[in-house]
Chains A and B, each alone.
Chain A
Amino acid sequence: VQILEEVQDLPTAGNIKAQWVSLWTAPAVAAVLLLAFIAFPGFWPPMSPQLPAEQVATFYGENTAWIRFSMVTFNLCGILILPFFMVIVVQMKRMQTQSHVFAYCYLTAVVSGATVFALSNIFFLVAAFRPDRNPELVMVLNDLAWIVFIAPVGMVVSQFLLLAIAIYFDDGPNPVFSRWVGHYSLGTAIIMIPAAGAAVFQTGPLAWDGLISFWLRNGAFALFIVVIFFVLRGTLRRQAIEEGVVEESAQ
């Protein structure tokens, strides 16, 4: 987006620019997080909850370097995805036929969800810090790490639900998002719900290494970021044109 020279110093232009920059942090952060995800030896395949304590401790002892690299990256860069979600908050606050109560609920849910994500990698890293401690202790750290990483879906689910409901309530002549984005957000929420079972089941699709709890849950979340990135890119362009910050032809 090329911002027009004559409006460059106006708040509207600053607002578009800030959102545009925040939006474009997402591909960079996502690429780094994907790298960390690929680099974690315990994801290929995801570690079974049925591993005995000795094997869990051996895993941390043999893969210490890669575990540290990937989980430190999650630690350092995971929360950098927040500016992307803040663009969604700002867009929710542009919805005209509603009070913006959904935006504040959404913001609260995003912050709480981020604290959960920020906790899980610490457990992985503590387990890798001294893999030679009593295997029972490595195992409980590993259990806590996996349960906190996979199972507490409530905050992200409510995020997706709130976005969906806000879109449904945004029923004026000029909605911020298309209606399908609401359906898609609702669908993502529903797909992620069963992953809560990862804190209970040790085998099957609901276990933390299972098809539903691991692949479907994480896949749905990652895909959502990709899809909403393109949605937000279009939305921001429309906002920029409506507010006279860029020319129509720039699209």
Chain B
Amino acid sequence: VSVLTRSGPKADGPTSDGKPDVWFVYWIFPGFYAAFGVIICLLTRVTPPPRPDITTADKIAFFTEHRTTMQIGFGLLLILLGGAAVSNGIVVYHMKRMTVGSVFAYGYLGGMAVGALPGFLLVAACFLTATLRVDRNPEVVGMLYDLGMLSYNGSLGCFSAAYLALAIAILYDKNGIFPKWFAYVSIWQIVTEVIATQMFVFYSGPFAWNGSIAFWWSVVVFSIWLCALIALLKKATAREPADSPALD
């Protein structure tokens, strides 16, 4: 079917609008998150998360068993990390197109740009340090395990600040860049971050870092948020007139 529609370009339906450079950046967004999903789920095994309530020996066994795939996965992430910047940049761009001006866009940019370090990078550094010498002092390996998992799942405020800026911007915006319901999905993201604070207290159960509420509920909300954002960014990009002036 796609071949048929391609054979008759612009035959019917709305012509695909938008700016070529914004489209270029747009496609990096799902590409990065697809790669990120493969890295965190299949290669580095941090999602679904390993348990917080295991012995130091089990933590070492975890690093030993998955050492090679962790090194491949986090090694790739260290290279692809910039995809997060690009993914945030296009959201900033569309936020700047709203009637509310630049202030929320810059707030989003700041929160997300700072969040990359505690949210992605520190777990990569910790787990790669652990896998570099799995035979080091077991207590140290165990600490790297906790430090990595708690920074990765427990960096909350940077993203909350960004979600808040996004939600308020959408609610005030009169250009209809994103639909209003997406503001409420973003607010639910903040709620999950607030609940996730409990992972610093619990070793097991629903509020632990692998718990049904602190983790799995967040994953569900995040997945909805991310899929919606990818779809909405596509729409926003397509609806932007190609000849509209560049932003200030």
Which residue numbers of A lie inside 8 Å of B, CB to CB? 49, 53, 93, 95-96, 98-102, 104-109, 111-112, 115-116, 119, 134, 136-137, 139-140, 143-144, 147-148, 151-159, 161-162, 165-166, 169, 193, 196-197, 199-200, 202
Is B56 interfacial (CB-CB < 8 Å)? no
Q: Which of B8-16, B57-65, B129-137, B211-219 contacts A (4 or more CB under 8 A)?
A: B129-137
> 3 nearest interchain CB pairs?
A158-B82, A154-B81, A105-B89
Most buried by B among A100, A112, A134: A112
* Known A108-B113, A200-B128; contact A98-B21, beta-carbon cutoff 8 A: yes
Contact indicator B85/A199 (Cβ below 8 Å): no
Q: How far is the CB of A150 from chain B (nearest CB, A)?
A: 10
Q: What CA separation (Å) do A127 and B131 show in the bound complex?
A: 20
B75-101 CB contact bits vs A (8 Å, 1 = yes)?
Answer: 111111111111011101100100000
Contact indicator B113/A112 (Cβ below 8 Å): yes
Q: How far is the CB of A110 from chain B (nearest CB, A)?
A: 8
Instruction: Using CB atoms, name the residue of chain A closest to B140.
Output: A140
Given A151-B125, A154-B78, 10 extra CB contacts under 8 A: A99-B21, A111-B110, A112-B114, A140-B140, A152-B78, A154-B77, A154-B80, A154-B81, A196-B76, A199-B78
Q: A165 — which chain B residues lie within 8 A by C-beta?
A: 21, 24
11 pairs from A and B in contact (CB 8 Å cutoff)? A105-B85, A105-B90, A139-B133, A143-B132, A152-B125, A155-B82, A155-B85, A156-B82, A157-B79, A196-B79, A200-B128
Contact indicator A105/B78 (Cβ below 8 Å): no
Q: What CA separation (Å) do A185 and B128 show in the bound complex?
A: 28
Q: A161 — which chain B residues lie within 8 A by C-beta?
A: 82
Contact indicator A144/B79 (Cβ below 8 Å): no
Instruction: Using CB atoms, name the residue of chain B closest to A96.
Output: B246
Is B198 interfacial (CB-CB < 8 Å)? no
Contact indicator A109/B22 (Cβ below 8 Å): no
Q: B195 — which chain A residues lie within 8 A by C-beta?
A: none
Q: B234 — which chain A residues lie within 8 A by C-beta?
A: none
Is B109 interfacial (CB-CB < 8 Å)? yes
Instruction: Using CB atoms, name the residue of chain A closest to B81.
Output: A154
Number of A-B contacts (CB under 8 A): 162
Q: What CA separation (Å) do A155 and B77 show in the bound complex?
A: 11
Q: B131 — which chain A residues lie within 8 A by C-beta?
A: 200
* Known A108-B113, A136-B137, A136-B140; contact A147-B128, beta-carbon cutoff 8 A: yes
Q: B112 — which chain A residues lie within 8 A by C-beta?
A: 108
Q: B132 — which chain A residues lie within 8 A by C-beta?
A: 49, 143, 147, 199-200, 202
Is B124 interfacial (CB-CB < 8 Å)? yes
* Known A101-B89, A108-B92; contact A140-B136, beta-carbon cutoff 8 A: yes
Q: B25 — which chain A residues lie within 8 A by C-beta?
A: 101-102, 105
Contact indicator A116/B121 (Cβ below 8 Å): yes
Partner of A151, one of B83, B114, B128: B128
Partner of A199, one of B93, B114, B128: B128
Kindly identify, within residues 10 to 52 of chain B, every residue whose CB is under 8 Å from any CB belonging to chain A: 19-22, 24-25
Is B74 interfacial (CB-CB < 8 Å)? yes
Contact indicator A98/B129 (Cβ below 8 Å): no
Contact indicator A105/B86 (Cβ below 8 Å): yes
Contact indicator B93/A101 (Cβ below 8 Å): yes
* Known A154-B81, A154-B82, A158-B82; contact A140-B93, beta-carbon cutoff 8 A: no
Contact indicator A102/B77 (Cβ below 8 Å): no
Contact indicator B89/A115 (Cβ below 8 Å): no
Q: B75 — which chain A residues lie within 8 A by C-beta?
A: 151, 196-197, 199-200
Q: What CA separation (Å) do A196 and B81 show in the bound complex?
A: 11
Instruction: Using CB atoms, name the residue of chain A closest to B76.
Output: A196
Q: A148 — which chain B residues lie within 8 A by C-beta?
A: 121, 125
Is B230 interfacial (CB-CB < 8 Å)? no
Kindly identify, within residues 100 to 118 of chain B, every residue whose CB is under 8 Å from any CB belonging to chain A: 105, 109-110, 112-114, 116-117
Partner of B117, one of A99, A112, A140: A112
Instruction: Using CB atoms, name the residue of chain A closest to B20.
Output: A169
Contact indicator B19/A99 (Cβ below 8 Å): yes
Q: What CA separation (Å) do A136 and B112 show in the bound complex?
A: 34
Q: What CA separation (Å) do A101 and B94 show in the bound complex?
A: 9
Contact indicator B136/A152 (Cβ below 8 Å): no
Q: How far is the CB of A151 from chain B (nearest CB, A)?
A: 5
Q: What CA separation (Å) do A230 and B180 show in the bound complex?
A: 47
Instruction: Using CB atoms, name the residue of chain A closest to B78.
Output: A196
Contact indicator A154/B79 (Cβ below 8 Å): yes
